[in-house]
Amino acid sequence: MSGIFRHIALEIAHIMTALEIWALALGLAMDCFAVSITSGIIWGRFRWKSMLTMAFFFGLFQAFNPFLGWLGTRYFRHLIESVDHWIAFGILAFLGIRMIVESFKPEDEKHFDPASLKVILMMAVATSIDALAVGISFVCVGMNHWSDLPYPLGVIGLVSFLLSLVGVSLGVKCGSYARKIHADLLGGVILFAIGLKILIEHLIA
């Protein structure tokens, strides 16, 4: 009988671990989700190639950065922790301020395009900086072997990919309303606010 209870306890522990990984993935994907909504608002229509490209790179970087954090924990953990929030804030603040400035220009003079691969990569890097710390935490909870990583990294990447697609779709649907209140200006404020949130969370932690 004790063997049965032990087996049940192990199964419950496994389920809780899986739920925690999915919850973690959702939390990490929130910045991607917000940025994707902003991009959808600016586009105003479904641009499937750009949507899939954005979702792919958001998912890729969200999955890859925890791996980098896990890999580098023993060698340069202190370096990552000391600058990660400043990097994220700097990139998002730069993009946000650029969007705000562009919002006051005539339509034919605007150059900010969230469909640009360069902009997508910059946003993917900025929104995935926090995922480095998640990789460090993997080591702290006992994920010390390569075989421990595929499942959590796969879940993180998948959730970010899907929420990015959902976010862009919501942005496109809401675009007709948002464009009436300067979508570029709104998007810039959102990007700057996300960067500021990341910075403040790290400074007060």
What tens digit of pLDDT does each residue of 5-26 get? 444 434 433 444 677 788 878 8
Please report which helix (H) or strand (E) contains residue 46, including its range.
none
Mean per-residue pLDDT, 49-62: 95
Per-residue confidence band for 178, with pLDDT thresholds at 50, 70 and 90: low
CA 52, CA 47: separation in Å to the nearest integer?
A: 9
Higher pLDDT, residue 131 or 87? 131
Closest residue by Cα to residue 144 from 70, 75, 81: 70
Number of domains in the chain: 1
Which pLDDT score is estimated for 70? 83
pLDDT at 111 over 60: no
CA 126, CA 20: separation in Å to the nearest integer?
A: 24
Highest mean pLDDT, choosing among 87-101, 109-123, 142-156:
142-156
Mean per-residue pLDDT, 17-36: 81
**Lookup result for tokens 């007060």:** 204
Which pLDDT score is estimated for 138? 73
What's the mean per-residue pLDDT of the chain?
Answer: 76
CA 159, CA 55: separation in Å to the nearest integer?
A: 10
pLDDT at 161 over 90: yes
CA 98, CA 96: separation in Å to the nearest integer?
A: 5
Closest residue by Cα to residue 65 from 156, 148, 144: 156
At what angle are helices 48-103 and 130-140 packed, to 10 degrees? 120
Structural domain for 85, as ranges: 2-204
Structure tokens at 3: 């063997």
Given phi > 0 = left and psi -120 to 50 = alpha, else beta, which region is 37? alpha
pLDDT at 54 over 50: yes
For the chain, the first-to-last Cα distance in angstroms comes to 46
Higher pLDDT, residue 42 or 61? 61
Higher pLDDT, residue 143 or 51? 51
DSSP of 62-98, one letter per residue?
HHHHHHHHHHHHHHHHHHHHHHHHHHHHHHHHHHHHH
Which pLDDT score is estimated for 80? 56
Highest mean pLDDT, choosing among 94-98, 157-161, 198-202:
157-161
